[in-house]
Structure 1
Amino acid sequence: MTGRLTSRGLRFLRARWRVVMRLGLWSVLETGQSFLIGYAPARALDDGFLAGRTATGLAWLGVAGLGVVVGAYGTARVYAAVAALVEPLRDRLVRRVVERGVREADRGALSGLTQQVEIARDTFAGLVMVSRSFVFTAVGALAGLFSLAPLLLLVVLPPLAAGIGLFAATLRPLARRQEVFLAADEALADRLGAVCPGLRDITATGAQERTAADVGRLVDAEERTARSLARFGVVRVAALALGGQLPIVLLLATAPWLLKHGVTTGALVGALSYVTQSLLPALHNLLHGLGTSGSRLTVVLRRLAPEGGRDAGLGPSDESRAAESPAPTVAAKSPAPTVAAKSPAPTVAAESPAPTVARPPALALSSVTFAYGPTAVPVIEDLDLTLPAGSHLAVVGPSGIGKSTLTALVAGLLEPRCGTVRVGGEPMRGAGALARRVLIPQEAYVFTGTLAENLAHLRPDPVPEAELLAAAEAVGLLPLLEALGGPEGRVDPAALSAGERQLIALTRAHLSHAPLALLDEATCHLDPRAEERAERAFAARPGGTLVVVAHRITSARRADRVLMMDGRETAYGTHDELVRCSARYRELVGAWTPVPHERSDPSLALRDPDGVDAVAGAGLAGDGRHVVAHGPVGQVQTPRDLGDGRPFRGEG
């Protein structure tokens, strides 16, 4: 793997040979300072001050000062050339990590993007700087020593070579420990990525202590690897003492012998200047820079470009992927889904007839069990669910029972303890499953840009404007689209209400090629009529399959089948069947009765006996804003969340 990375690195440098040549030329200019820093003082002493020629001595010192100025100019130019090498590498690595995280659902992508890419950028820059500086500085200093007195090389060169050799011997074990450290960091990031979305379910099942213990073990493991890595600092100190500080001692100890063998006083002072002002700082930078940068860069590039993977941006050009998401297939409405909950004593309706179509079901869960921690009580236990293409399923249940956990499992955000989840016949983490599902969460993601850019975010190809407008009309986004000035209107997320952001996210998902849509309370900020319109738009997509975590009981009434999750009381069937057969479902529905469309339906979780509307709808009195009962305390929404899109009773 190291040889492969080396070849890729050489290809990367060959593709930028002009930058490398410019870097070398400026480094040569910088080398003049390294040569003059010892040679000029030696000449100033031998040919000037010690010979009684003060002017000559001052002239040589002036030459040394001029060398410092010229070298500083060369150093400034070196930094610009290094930036021209480093930034293209970082850009390529970022594209590689984002592609792997989005298209391949790599759970280590967070660590890769936030830490490993920046490690690669900084360490590559440090590696170039310290390696180049040491090579050119050492050449200048050794050439100066040879020009002053070849005998000086016998004193300086052996300990310098020994120090570099000792350091080089530690690079391989240092790289191994660096790789273990990064693996521990990825494992911690992976675990946190799985835990954070399920904090509500962790609290609901009382698994806080177990989850904290699991995460704590990963934190301790990363600490141990960091300590092991830090111990190699002792070796670097020993190598620096051997290669950079021992030559100073040897020069002073052998000074009488050197003077007897023709080495002049000025040459001896020049040799001390070379060692203390050039070789020692350059060796110090090399050991501390290469000891950290070289090993970290090797390990990071191994992880960003695994065996058989792409070049991680080190090649002369990016390799583009041609993985197009498959277009949804058109099919007639499929038979109703079947489900069996193997939890003790479930109330489950009889299974519907098996689908007659040959293609695999849109969603299939087989004996799926999930818990937040090895000893935690399962949130979902031994669940079987088969959902043919074209089905419409509503998932209901008390808050914290695991509805969002179920959608996270289907979306591949969580991994079941046991059992399998297949989407369109593909494993949930396979590339085929990624193209067949889209998750719309409660908190809609909208970014600054044009409305067209937001809506086409999940499409690999440009979206024709006619198709975009048709989707906006179907979901109910058209009034907002017109208010923003059309598809090219600018979107400011902070200026939108929560309901408007949800409409944009829903339309974006509607435009995607994924036939399976998972709505995890994705319409909770919309009024009932807008919610109904959005759900019917998804249910009507050709070949489309819809799973809705129900926010209102009307969502359950619209669905083909209802999955009522409540631990041991898991039940499945149509709304009417569950009302007749499941006492727990009747309790959940409570005293709900049909009301005109002009009024809001209560949220399932509220069951307010006073009949207070859960979400404000058209025709209610107000002050231009309304409080959302299911949102955080004090949360208010703008009037555009209402079904008719107008202010309250003419109020502005």
Structure 2
Amino acid sequence: MTAATGLATRGLAFLLARRRVLLRLTAWSVLETGQTFLIGYGTARALDEGFLRGRADVGLAWLAVTGLGVLLGALGTARVYAAVADLVEPLRDRLVERVVSRGVRTGEPRYLSGLTQQVEIARDTFAGLVMVSRSFVFTSAGALAGLFTLAPPLLLVVGPPLALGMALFAATLRPLARRQETFLVADEALAGDLGTVCPGLRDVTATGAEAQIAAGTGERVEAELRAARALARWGVLRVASLTIGGQMPIVLLLAAALWLLAHGVTAGALVGALAYVTQSLLPALRNLIHGLGTSGSRLTVVLRRLAATDTDPPRPPEDSGPVYGTVTEEIRSTDTSGDLLTRPAFAGAGLRVPVTPGVAADHATAPPALSLTSVTFAYGPASAPVVHDFDLTLPPGAHLAVVGPSGTGKSTLTALVAGLLTPSHGTVRVAGHPVPGPEAAAARVLIPQEAYVFGGTLAENLAYLRPGPVPEEELLAAAESVGLVPLAARLGGLGARVDPTALSAGERQLIALTRAYLSYAPLALLDEATCHLDPGAEERAERAFAARPGGTLVVVAHRISSARRADRILVMDGRSTAYGGHEDLLRSCALYRDLVGSWTPAPAR
């Protein structure tokens, strides 16, 4: 059984189970049909038997009957809405129950989307389709019955173009539905792409992936444009069917007026026929074509997705082309309630940027791992610079600790190196490549204070920054180096699924550190990335990064032990900087001595 056949079968069963509602809907619609019948018939009789014979009282009486019919029709319309609600709301409830039973409790995005959006789309479009289809059927019945009653020759003029227009419209329904579905899929793909890209714009800039992201988004824009054009071409036929079925009868009635009058059709009947076409058939046909042509295909697409079985295979991921990695950078934003939200923008949104496997460089000939030249940065044109005329050069394999009080620019410095911020003056280079830029992005990895872990397996979390599968032996070796083995064992091994909400901040940091350790990026930026670890775990992780072949480590330190492990230390106080080894800075930098004193516990008495 095909999906379309199965959907039709379920729909028929749903309607048959609600026969009483359908009968009530039919009864009230018949009352509306009386209104349609009297619009032309009452007008014709008012002219032929009343006003054209000089009997105004008879003409006014027929018009009063017609007005009474309109009032009764309005009553029927009001009752129709109630009957439609009794038909539509059970459909909505049934769809909601299905979505909830199949997945909302799992928190999968596709089920949440089904509950919050697709069910409402199905409900609204189904209600609209019931209304326009019912209106056309009963309005056409009343109008055609009226034409036959007034004069059968009128049907010869109105009937053929109406049937031709309906046949043309029916012929376009299937191809129009296919193109409507193609357009909806393209629109959803573009919306999903923008929903991924927009929250991660800073990260796109940081990784130098502007051209690639723009190209990917551009392809989706072009796909939607092509789908929209194809839909528009078929929309022309829809307009043609409306012209033939609804507007051509008016022209034919006027053109054939003399012939009709010569064959016994009265002037009142001719006016009544024009009233049927202009006031009943044309509006009903227009509503049917626009409603069924657009909403019908949309309803089919949505119901097909909501009715899909749980065993339907998930859509395979598209070929992503280049190898991808990610930057997890903390972004703070305010939601509508005013609460401060913190989330990893890049990885949390699922956005990925190219990573090129690196090769350990010869330190004697390689460019500096990191160089900043005359870098100045302020957070506003009227703000004092956080970093002013700053120079720094690190050779490959260096280990630098950055220390200083809060608010002195330590995280700003790492953001400048990562490309998340752009200096107002000066240049930043990573491995000789300008920042921002794709080459620089591939040569460094940033681990923030709040580490990002997603709900896949532990192996998937660890290998996220690597192209292709990572051998299990390499994953285990990295876990051993960084100190992740006890946590991996507690979780159940590399194949165990990770629940980020069940992990502590320190456990999430260990996973993110191991992920970065496995990346090919030679420059690692640890922006207080070990602050939730105990001193022993912090030391093990930092030593692992410092020992990576060809690796360069920059650590924003929060413990004196972390600073003492570094080859060089950069002290920032917001106005000036000091640079040197631990012993040198103790002698020459008062701020560093103060920091060391505040970090060192007072001796027990």
Which of the five TM-score ranges fits, normalised by the shorter chain? 0.5 to 0.7
What is the correspondence of 1:304-343 to structure 2 with a 5 Å cutoff?
304-306=306-308
| Alignment match, 1:588 | 555
- The verdict on how the C-alpha distance between 1:146 and 1:586 changes in structure 2, with shifts beyond 3 A counting, is closer
- The verdict on how the C-alpha distance between 1:52 and 1:578 changes in structure 2, with shifts beyond 3 A counting, is closer
Question: Is the 1:46–1:265 contact (alpha carbons within 8 Å) kept by the matching residues of 2?
Answer: yes
Matched AA of 1:61: L
Give how far 1:192 is off: 3.8
Q: 1:554-613: per-residue Cα shift (whole Å, max 9, x none)? A: x99xxxx99757723679996554555653798637472479xxxxx9xx9xx995899x
Give how far 1:35 is off: 0.6
| Alignment match, 1:419 | 468
- The verdict on how the C-alpha distance between 1:46 and 1:309 changes in structure 2, with shifts beyond 3 A counting, is farther
Matched, 1:213 2:221: no
What is the correspondence of 1:544-583 to structure 2 with a 5 Å cutoff?
547-549=507-509, 564=517, 567-568=521-522, 575-578=538-541, 582-583=545-546
Matched AA of 1:419: G
| Alignment match, 2:29 | 27
Cα RMSD between the aligned structures? Answer: 4.5
Matched AA of 2:50: G
For 1:588 and 1:290, how far apart are their aligned partners in 2?
62
For 2:116 and 2:471, how far apart are their aligned partners in 1?
31
Give how far 1:18 is off: 2.8
| Alignment match, 2:135 | 133
Matched, 1:149 2:151: yes
Question: Is the 2:465–2:515 contact (alpha carbons within 8 Å) kept by the matching residues of 1?
Answer: no
What is the correspondence of 1:238-387 to structure 2 with a 5 Å cutoff?
238-306=240-308, 376-377=354-355
For 2:85 and 2:466, how far apart are their aligned partners in 1?
47
Matched, 1:518 2:478: no
Structure 2 length normalisation: TM-score?
Answer: 0.58
Question: Is the 1:26–1:77 contact (alpha carbons within 8 Å) kept by the matching residues of 2?
Answer: yes
Aligned to 1:588, what secondary structure does the other structure show? Answer: strand
Question: Is the 2:114–2:306 contact (alpha carbons within 8 Å) kept by the matching residues of 1?
Answer: yes
- The verdict on how the C-alpha distance between 1:240 and 1:68 changes in structure 2, with shifts beyond 3 A counting, is same
Total equivalences in the alignment: 411
Which stretch of structure 1 is more off in the superposition, 404-413 or 167-176?
Answer: 404-413
Q: 1:502-551: per-residue Cα shift (whole Å, max 9, x none)? A: xxxxxxxxxxxx9734369975xxxxxxxxxxx6xxxxxxxxxxx42269
Matched, 1:234 2:236: yes
Aligned to 1:43, what secondary structure does the other structure show? Answer: helix
| Alignment match, 1:495 | none
Matched AA of 1:280: L
For 2:570 and 2:23, how far apart are their aligned partners in 1?
76
For 1:101 and 1:402, how far apart are their aligned partners in 2?
35
Question: Is the 2:104–2:112 contact (alpha carbons within 8 Å) kept by the matching residues of 1?
Answer: no
Q: 1:402-450: per-residue Cα shift (whole Å, max 9, x none)? A: 6589723737899888535999xxxxxxxxxxxxxxxxxxxxxxxxxxx
Matched AA of 2:555: L
Question: Is the 1:138–1:278 contact (alpha carbons within 8 Å) kept by the matching residues of 2?
Answer: yes
| Alignment match, 1:410 | 456
Q: 1:610-644: per-residue Cα shift (whole Å, max 9, x none)? A: 899xxxxxxxxxxxxxxxxxxxxxxxxxxxxxxxx
Give how far 1:187 is off: 2.0
Q: Which runs of 5+ in 1 are unaligned?
A: 311-342, 344-369, 382-396, 424-513, 524-534, 536-546, 596-600, 613-652
Matched AA of 2:5: G
For 1:122 and 1:251, how far apart are their aligned partners in 2?
37
Considering only CA atoms, is the larger Rg found in Structure 1 or Structure 2? 2
For 1:215 and 1:109, how far apart are their aligned partners in 2?
25
Matched AA of 1:240: L
Give how far 1:123 is off: 2.0
For 2:152 and 2:470, how far apart are their aligned partners in 1?
75
| Alignment match, 1:38 | 40
For 2:355 and 2:63, how far apart are their aligned partners in 1?
80
- The verdict on how the C-alpha distance between 1:106 and 1:231 changes in structure 2, with shifts beyond 3 A counting, is farther
Structure 1 length normalisation: TM-score?
Answer: 0.54
Q: 1:137-190: per-residue Cα shift (whole Å, max 9, x none)? A: 011111111111222212211111001001111111101111111211232244
Matched AA of 1:518: P
- The verdict on how the C-alpha distance between 1:67 and 1:417 changes in structure 2, with shifts beyond 3 A counting, is farther
Matched AA of 2:24: R
Question: Is the 1:30–1:70 contact (alpha carbons within 8 Å) kept by the matching residues of 2?
Answer: yes
Q: 1:321-375: per-residue Cα shift (whole Å, max 9, x none)? A: xxxxxxxxxxxxxxxxxxxxxx9xxxxxxxxxxxxxxxxxxxxxxxxxx99567x
- The verdict on how the C-alpha distance between 1:280 and 1:610 changes in structure 2, with shifts beyond 3 A counting, is closer
For 1:415 and 1:6, how far apart are their aligned partners in 2?
43
For 1:164 and 1:283, how far apart are their aligned partners in 2?
9
Q: Pick from 5, 9, 12 the counterpart of residue 11 of structure 2.
A: 9
For 2:196 and 2:357, how far apart are their aligned partners in 1?
14
Question: Is the 1:134–1:282 contact (alpha carbons within 8 Å) kept by the matching residues of 2?
Answer: yes
Give how far 1:99 is off: 6.4
Q: 1:52-73: per-residue Cα shift (whole Å, max 9, x none)? A: 3322221111000111111112
For 2:97 and 2:510, how far apart are their aligned partners in 1?
37
Aligned to 1:276, what secondary structure does the other structure show? Answer: helix
- The verdict on how the C-alpha distance between 1:273 and 1:569 changes in structure 2, with shifts beyond 3 A counting, is closer
Which stretch of structure 1 is more off in the superposition, 44-53 or 301-310?
Answer: 301-310
- The verdict on how the C-alpha distance between 1:134 and 1:417 changes in structure 2, with shifts beyond 3 A counting, is farther
Q: 1:19-61: per-residue Cα shift (whole Å, max 9, x none)? A: 2222211111111100100111111222222333322221111
- The verdict on how the C-alpha distance between 1:277 and 1:252 changes in structure 2, with shifts beyond 3 A counting, is same
Matched, 1:88 2:90: yes
Q: 1:83-124: per-residue Cα shift (whole Å, max 9, x none)? A: 232333334445555666656776656765665444323321
Aligned to 1:410, what secondary structure does the other structure show? Answer: coil
Give how far 1:206 is off: 1.9
Question: Is the 1:248–1:275 contact (alpha carbons within 8 Å) kept by the matching residues of 2?
Answer: yes
Matched AA of 1:516: V
Question: Is the 1:198–1:405 contact (alpha carbons within 8 Å) kept by the matching residues of 2?
Answer: no
Aligned to 1:516, what secondary structure does the other structure show? Answer: coil
